[in-house]
Every structure is written in structure tokens, then in C-alpha cells.
A and B are shown apart, each in its own frame.
Chain A
């Protein structure tokens, strides 16, 4: 499929480029359908839901995110930078003797070090989230599927990726229909 080759440039590798989509009426039915498809040998499955689904990560076999480590690294780097700046400005570059108090006045530097550490970790968590999720990405092939707007309201959607080894337009459609979806939809370029 030439179109998916074109898309490959725009959609990150870990993302699923949907070939066929199905909407289910409840999270339980969606998770059950996903489990069946996984059992049938599908590897590239994505779920879309208005709120997070417990157990979806394990079902899809997603690796544990490393976001906390990234945020921790950002926080520590920020705190270290804040401490260094305070030492450099107040003790090294422009030492000011205030009543004989030590130039290396660590207790007085705790608040700024702590605050900037928290600030850096929070920015790290947020930017890390955007980077890992590949957002902002205002256009995505999944949006072209008719009826997909319900994914943020009350629809629980499942997609099988075009890159899935087991994917075959006719057979996959049959297999999904057997799971009792509310409806089946195809993204524009597959349809």
C-alpha cells in the first residue's frame, strides 16, 4: 500500500496506522474484543476511549513508560543548575560579606533550589508526555474514519494497524464483525 508508505513519514513508528476500525458500546466489550484479536494473533492493535481503560496496557503489551525517570533527571538537573547559579552569583562572581556570614550559605539556598527542581521536573513531565505521545498532531489518519468523533464522548474504538502481519481486509473485517461491534468504519485512504 503506497499510501501507508507516504504516511510512514508522518506517523511515528510506535503509533498504529489504522486500516480498519470498530466501535464498541462499553469498555468491557472493547477490552474483550481486543483480547480476542490478540489471541487470534494480531499484534498492531490500538484502542481509543474517552477515559483511560484499566488493563489496556497489559492487553496491548505496551512497555512500561520511562517518563518518571525523564522527569526525575530534569528535576535533578534543574535543582543542580539552580544551586550552581546561586553559588556562582552570590559566592563566586560577586561575593558579598554580610555581617561575616559564610559565602557558601547553603540553608539560604534551599528554597530556590527546591522550587526550580520541582519546576524543571514538571516541565520535563509535560514535555515528555507530548514527545512520547507525538502531540501536538492535529491531523491523524484515524480522524478520517466516519463516526470516530464519538471516541472522545461515548464510543470505545478499536483499530487494527495496516502493518499487522495478520491483517487482511476481508478476513479481519469478518473476524471483527463476529465480536459484535456497534459499527465498523474505514479510514479514508483504506476505504
Chain B
């Protein structure tokens, strides 16, 4: 691209529009504008969400028999979607919490978007196991409350672990996101063009006034929330993987599952971050706030996660052979690469193992289009990976007489497409109503960089 010369470097933040006021107004502008493109995107994702609603209503009214699930393939799409969505959320927490603790300053302009992505992905993820219950109105039975039936949830099962993990993950992510948002909501309140908006943003800003006494507590609380969210990056998908690892099925019963799932989660999550960031930066002309440096760093993360995943694939296959269990050898070394779902298996390997190798090149990594294409392929790859893990381990059971092929129905497809639409719809609403670049943090970073430059000049 010819834009290479104009492409902003790592210090581009410093060179943006002169004053803090100007920067604030620029970053708040999407809240006050009414773009036609937004309405079109809203209509499209709204239609998809409507389809989602119809598919959910049909599932609830008719029962999950309308899905392609059967015995032995009882999990299929619902759990594939669940694991895929919950994994996507992980990169958001990784960027916002883990990188905060490591004082990686590049996170400042992308963390809000990443956190929103986490929240909205979790909303999708949480819907699937509830629908998969078949009778979702009994979902509250997972809570240990003194019922007249005098029974309790069984905490030795992995499913209540899942429930606790998702509940915690969603709540902590929401608190962390909202805590980070409060100072920017105050800025939106103080810059709002109409009284109604001033009132609404003022309400959500909780009366924040930026007092030093507040900042002191705020910084500590924010650091605490980051510190608490960080272990969740590892624990939540580990617990999800235990749904599989604690069972006795070949292809599931493996100690490598927790780290394998976490690496895959971060991998697909970073891909989703790229999928959202690249168009966003283009549409809102944020090249100087979300710089090529950001793309470069995310690209490197994707490459690293890709290699962890390749390692996991190799170890998984090796252990299947080395352990000497006939069923496991068959499931991993015969059924997956040559069975009825082999074509999906090979798509998975191509997308997840070959695509990231593009990212070795700095030129390709910093090209938004290449990065976006790689991210989309990786997301397809990660979805197929969840599908392969779930369906191929189930469809060829221990007894060939009980083998069964799984094929999704239109309801399965509608739920998948609908959840993607709903996710994008929530994201569009977020772009429209919430300051999506952390304005305060960007100003702070800008100021720090300026100070460093002054100090550096002084030494010269």
C-alpha cells in the first residue's frame, strides 16, 4: 500500500491533534453523530438477531429435537458454539488485564474494545448451554438454593464448575469494564450536546469528578480488578476444558486439555480483536490511535498462540499413540484424519497451522488487510477445531453399532449465524453509545510520552 510513508509509527499518539480537548472531542464524536452506514449495519445485524430470536423460540417451543443432535452426538453445535464464543472472550481480558499488569502501554487504545468484545462474546456463550438444557426455564436449578424438592446441585460434576466460571467471568469483566468507563462517561457528560444526553451519561458516570482522592482509590481498585481478572484468563477455559477432560471419551480424556484450550481461546480471541479493530480504525480514521504498532503486537500474539496450538496438536497425537489405548489411537489417528469429518479436520489444520506462518513477516503483519484475512481464517479454524473435538469424539463411539453421523439442521445454522449477528449488534450499540477508546488513558499516555521526550531532550 502507498500509505506506508504516511503510516503512523509507534509514537503517533504524540503527533495527533494538538490539545487534549480536541482529542477528547474527536474520540467522543462517534457518540453524537448519526452515520448512515451505522444504520445499515444495524439493520443487517438486527435482521440476523431476529433470526436468532426465531431459532431460539422454535427450539424452546419444539424442544432440542429440532437440532441435528442425536445419540451418541448429543453435544454438537450448541457446545461447539459455546466453547468457541467463550474462547473469543479471553483475548479481551488478556489485553485489558494481563497487559495492564505487565505495563504494556500499547494496550491503552484497544483495551475498551477488547473488553466489550469479551462481554458480548460471553453473552452469546452463556446462551448455548442454557438452550441445550432443553428446558431452559429450569436453568436456575444450578444455583444451590433450599428447594422444596430437597435436592442440591452436584458439585463433583463439571457442569456446576462451568456455571461458576461463567458467572464469575461475566461479572468480573463487567465490573472491570464499567470501572474503566466511568471517567470517560464523565467526559461524555461534560461534552454532551443536549440536556437529555448529559443526564443519561451523568447518571452512568455516577457523579465522577476526577478528584485526587478518588483517583487514588480508583487506581488501586482498577489494579485489583485487573489482578483478579488475570487468573480468569487461564481458569475459565481450563474449567470449560474439564467438561471434556473429566469424561472418559477418547479424544477428550487428556491432561493437555486445559493449556490447549487456553491457547486456542487466546488465539481465536486475538483473531476476533483484529476482525473488529481493522474495520473500526478504517471507518473512524483512528490510524493514529490504533497504530500499526498495535496491529504488529497483536499479529505477534497470534503467531505465538498459533505455535502453542500446533504444539498441542502434536502432543495430543503423540500421546494418543504413546499411551497405547486402542480407542484413543483410533479416534485421533484414524477417525479424525480419515473419517467422515476428515475434510473439516484438514480445514482446521490448514487454517490454524498454516495461516499464522504469514505473520512471521513484519510487512504482512502490519498490513491491515492481510491481518484481517488471517484473522478470519483463524476464526474459521478455531470453530472447526471445537467442532472436531466435540463431534468426532462422539460420533464414533466405543461400539461401532452405535456410531452415528451428525448433520446440522437449519435451526443449528440459524443459531450460529444469529449469535454472530447478535454479537455484532451489541458491538454496534457499544460503538454508538459508549466511548470506545479509553479517552482518559490515551490522554494520560500522551502526557507521559511527552514528558519522556522532554526528559530525553534534556539529556541530549
Contacts and interface: CB of A to CB of B under 8 A. Distances in A.
Partners in one complex: yes
A143 B441 contact: no
A169 interface: no
B182 to A, nearest CB: 8
B242 A153 contact: no
Contacts of A47: 211-212
A129 B440 contact: no
A109 B440 CA distance: 41
Nearest to A47: B212
Interface string B12-28: 00000001110010000
A133 B214 CA distance: 5
A146 interface: no
A137 interface: yes
B187 to A, nearest CB: 4
Q: In the complex, which range does the number of interface residues on chain A fall in?
A: 35 or more
A40 interface: no
B334 interface: no
Nearest to A34: B212
Interface string A10-21: 000011100000
Interface in B390-441: 439-441
B314 interface: no
Nearest to B442: A51
B154 A67 contact: no
Given A51-B444, A126-B179, A153-B20, A71 B224 contact: yes
Contacts of A15: 211, 213
A71 B223 CA distance: 12
- Chain A, interface SS category: helix
Given A51-B441, A90-B155, A114-B235, A122 B171 contact: yes
Contacts of A143: 209
Contact of B19 (A96, A108, A122, A154): A154
A152 B208 CA distance: 9
A89 B144 contact: yes
Contacts of B217: 65, 67, 128-129, 132-133
Interface of B: 19-21, 24, 144, 150-156, 160-161, 164-165, 167-168, 171-172, 175-176, 179, 183, 186-187, 189-191, 202-203, 206-221, 224-225, 228-229, 231-232, 235, 239, 242, 439-441, 443-444, 447
Listed from nearest, the 4 A-B pairs whose CB atoms lie closest are A154-B20, A89-B152, A136-B206, A129-B221
24 contacts: A16-B211, A27-B447, A48-B211, A49-B212, A51-B440, A52-B219, A60-B213, A65-B217, A89-B152, A90-B152, A114-B235, A118-B172, A119-B164, A119-B168, A121-B224, A122-B171, A122-B225, A126-B175, A129-B179, A129-B220, A142-B211, A151-B190, A152-B187, A154-B19
Given A89-B144, A109-B156, A135-B214, 14 more contacts: A16-B211, A50-B440, A56-B212, A67-B221, A68-B224, A98-B156, A101-B156, A112-B161, A115-B167, A122-B228, A129-B220, A152-B183, A152-B208, A154-B21
